[in-house]
Amino acid sequence: DAGVTQSPTHLIKTRGQQVTLRCSPISGHKSVSWYQQVLGQGPQFIFQYYEKEERGRGNFPDRFSARQFPNYSSELNVNALLLGDSALYLCASSSGTEMYQETQYFGPGTRLLVL
């Protein structure tokens, strides 16, 4: 079975630009979460979606937005990019039905570099 897939794998943008990252969850999973991992740190929670509804949002500015589609895939958008947005962006999928006991399965990530 295919795992979580993310695209693109790498991206280079300049300050002020906008970027869209994409994620496809494991088949049958209805929840998608997004995390930002800055070099040398643990991942930080950005968003969680379930059945196309936002379930939670981390401490990130409004420049960050996301959505989930009827097929449960998801997009993360970041506007007005800053140098500090350079990071590995991880998508994780889970069933969405077991809440805090469930395992989140991570994709390989999209590495974003902002120049």
Output the 3-class SS for 40-65: CCCCEEEEEEECCEEEEECCCCCCEE
- Least gap, CB of 15 to other proteins (angstroms): 26
Tell me if residue 101 falls in helix, strand or coil: helix
Residues at the site binding other proteins, with contacts judged by CB under 8 A: 4, 33, 35, 40-45, 48, 55-56, 58, 90, 92, 94, 99-109
Residue 43 in contact with residue 58, Cβ under 8 Å? no
- Least gap, CB of 58 to other proteins (angstroms): 7
Q: Which is nearer to other proteins, 64 or 105 (CB)?
A: 105
Q: Which is nearer to other proteins, 75 or 88 (CB)?
A: 88
